[in-house]
């Protein structure tokens, strides 16, 4: 049987693509945190990325492929799992699974919708054209003015709310996914599992607080133009 | 004590099946769960009704035949206990008890609480063995096995093949069962030569039998009456990764 059809093969594919996606969101968070250095931070960071030219597109296509595989196999495995399970028990008590592990497909699909919205919003400037229209695309040093765009966006309560809510789903998805890929790669000798699960939750919390700090500090006016 | 039972009744594999209510009067706290069902069946037989069919054999918690979900937990949810060793002292007078069979597409219901678990045999037959010459008794200690390896293999071999891991799994996956077999043989020198072919064949059989995929809920470990650790699934994953390498 092909690796891509095997039950364990696809588990490993989910783990590898998941690990790449987690690495990406870590780097993305580090990049985003340059917003705390003001326009000089995040605009300079944006200019560096723009200057990479075709490399940016190679990276984007790579991430698209990884994201696509993770989603496709995730949906396929979920459908198979539903098909393997006939009618529900009249009474069912789960003791080891948790809300995050049971709702991976839901949190995953919400994150997919969020990523589409996020790209339409910040990369393509399509969802709130009035924000882009209200300021110059570049700052005084002719760097892309990401700082103004981000601050004006998150000053809108609804946009901030969407971002914070999406990050709660990211927390759920990563809190199960992080320890899950470690188990899938076989790095669990039994006693290590409880530690791994705690580390996984802690890591997901760091991501949650890291990401939501930006809209929250902007909406409370602590970070402003 | 007096109990109310809601038992899954299904005449045959094609019947739809439903929960039916029974009264279990004068249950002794010293009875085992299956003895309580025996008493209920006695009454059913005496009144000319069809007794509740359930699997059982040793009633000592070692054969793996009993297979009943009690109040939503395989084997009733008492730590490291098969349902035959679950005693009525864990219930209170007036309790309602829901009794259902293992539910998984790979385990078709034969009747009432009896399911066909041959799918586990199919996984075992796919590679859960070592190919070796039989005949003369080999010399003792001809193949040296370290104490930790022997203990590890014995921990995996504790599996009694009851299928509670499948019944407890939200995905109806038999990955813990398969992991035990793969890990047990991979830990021993006799099992090493066929390790690569074994892990591939057994995980393929798992899929072909219609079991779901493992998504690391670890519900199997909680359901296992022998408390078998999901570290054996991690071992299966390592063995699978090794099988891909040249």
Please tell me the total count of domains within chain A: 1
**Pair (B145, B240) in one structural domain:** yes
Domain identity same for B102 and B131: no
Q: Is residue B12 domain-shared with residue B103, that is, in the same domain?
A: yes
Instruction: Let me know if residue A202 belongs to a domain.
Output: yes
Residue-wise pLDDT tens digits, B202-211: 999 999 999 9
For position B98, which CATH number holds?
3.10.20.30
Residues of A in contact with B168 (CB under 8 A): 94
Using the Cα atoms of residue B144, residue B149, residue B151 and residue B156 in order, give the sign of their dihedral. negative
pLDDT of residue B175 exceeding 70, the answer is yes
Range of the domain at B8: 3-111
Closest by CA position to B100, among listed B81, B82, B73: B73
Query: How is residue B67 annotated by DSSP?
Result: -
Domain that holds residue A41: 7-85+98-219
Identify whether residues B228 and B148 lie together within a single domain: yes
Q: Does the distance separating the beta carbons of A94 and B231 come in below 8 Å?
A: no
User: Do the domain assignments include residue A63?
Assistant: yes
- What's the sign of the alpha-carbon dihedral A9, A14, A17, A18? negative
Contact A85 B104 (CB under 8 A): yes
Q: What is the CATH number of the domain that holds A34?
A: 1.20.1300.10
Q: Which residue has the tokens 């496709």?
A: A72
Structural domain contains residue A90: no
Section B194-201 average pLDDT: 97
Query: Do B78 and B127 fall into the same domain?
Result: no
Residues of B in contact with A190 (CB under 8 A): 229, 231
CA angle B64, B70, B71 (to 5 degrees): 155
The reply to whether B14 and B34 lie within a common domain is: yes
d(CA B112, CA B1): 25
Residue A136 lies in a domain: yes
Note whether residue A119 is domain-resident.
yes
Domain count, chain B: 2
For the stretch B109-158, pLDDT in tens is: 999 999 999 999 999 999 999 998 888 888 888 889 999 999 999 999 99
Q: ipTM beyond 0.90?
A: yes
- Judgement on whether residues B20 and B65 belong to the same structural domain of the protein: yes
Task: Mark which of B57, B84, B111 sits at the end of a domain.
Answer: B111
A80 neighbourhood in chain B, CB within 8 Å: 212-213
Quick one: closest CA in A to B16, which residue?
A: A87
Q: What is the DSSP letter of A220?
A: T
CATH of the domain at B140: 1.10.1060.10
**Per-residue pLDDT of chain A in tens (225 residues, 90 and over written 9):** 689 999 999 999 999 999 999 999 999 999 999 999 999 999 999 999 999 989 999 999 999 999 999 999 999 999 999 999 987 899 989 999 999 999 999 999 999 999 999 999 999 999 999 998 998 889 999 999 999 999 999 999 999 999 999 999 999 999 999 999 999 999 999 999 999 999 999 999 999 999 999 999 999 999 998
Q: Which of residues 59-88 of A touch B (CB under 8 A)?
A: 77, 80-81, 83-88
């Amino acid at each position: 049987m092909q690796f891509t059809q095997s039950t364990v093969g696809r588990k490993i594919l989910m783990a590898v693509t998941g690990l790449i996606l987690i690495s990406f969101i870590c780097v993305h968070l580090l990049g985003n945190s340059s917003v705390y250095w003001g326009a000089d931070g995040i605009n300079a960071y944006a200019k560096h990325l723009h200057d990479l030219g075709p490399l940016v597109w190679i990276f984007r296509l790579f991430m698209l492929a990884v994201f696509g595989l993770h989603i496709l196999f995730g949906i396929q495995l979920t459908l198979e799992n539903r098909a393997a399970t006939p009618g529900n028990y009249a009474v069912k008590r789960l003791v080891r699974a948790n809300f995050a592990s049971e709702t991976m497909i839901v949190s995953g699909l919400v994150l997919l919708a969020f990523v589409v919205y996020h790209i339409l919003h910040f990369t393509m400037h399509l969802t709130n054209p009035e924000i882009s229209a209200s300021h110059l695309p570049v700052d005084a040093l002719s760097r892309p003015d990401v700082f103004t765009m981000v601050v004006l966006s998150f000053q809108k309560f609804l946009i901030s709310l969407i971002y914070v809510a999406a990050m709660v789903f990211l927390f759920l998805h990563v809190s199960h996914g992080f320890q899950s890929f470690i188990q899938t790669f076989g790095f669990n000798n039994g006693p290590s599992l409880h530690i791994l699960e705690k580390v996984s939750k802690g890591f997901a919390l760091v991501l949650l607080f890291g990401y939501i700090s930006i809209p929250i500090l902007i909406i409370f006016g602590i970070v402003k133009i | 004590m007096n109990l109310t039972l809601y038992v899954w009744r299904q005449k045959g594999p094609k019947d739809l099946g439903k929960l039916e209510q029974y009264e279990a009067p004068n249950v002794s706290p010293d009875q085992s769960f299956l003895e309580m069902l025996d008493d209920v069946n006695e009454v059913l037989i005496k009144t000319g009704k069809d007794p509740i069919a359930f699997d059982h054999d040793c009633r000592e918690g070692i054969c793996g035949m009993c297979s009943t979900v009690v109040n939503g937990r395989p084997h009733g949810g008492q730590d490291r206990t098969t349902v035959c060793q679950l005693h009525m002292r864990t219930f209170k007078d007036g309790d309602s008890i829901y009794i259902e069979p293992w539910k998984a597409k790979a385990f078709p219901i034969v009747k009432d609480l009896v399911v066909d678990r041959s799918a586990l045999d199919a996984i075992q037959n796919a590679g859960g063995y070592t190919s070796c010459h039989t005949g003369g008794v080999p010399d003792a200690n001809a193949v040296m096995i370290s104490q930790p390896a022997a203990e590890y293999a014995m921990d995996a071999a504790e599996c009694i093949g009851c299928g509670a891991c499948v019944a407890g799994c939200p995905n109806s996956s038999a990955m813990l069962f398969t992991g035990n077999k793969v890990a047990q043989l991979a830990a021993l020198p006799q099992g090493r030569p066929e390790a690569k072919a074994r892990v591939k064949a057994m995980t393929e059989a798992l899929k072909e039998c219609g079991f779901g995929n493992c998504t690391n809920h670890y519900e199997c470990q909680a359901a296992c009456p022998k408390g078998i650790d999901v570290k054996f699934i991690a071992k299966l994953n390592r063995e699978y990764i090794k099988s891909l390498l040249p």
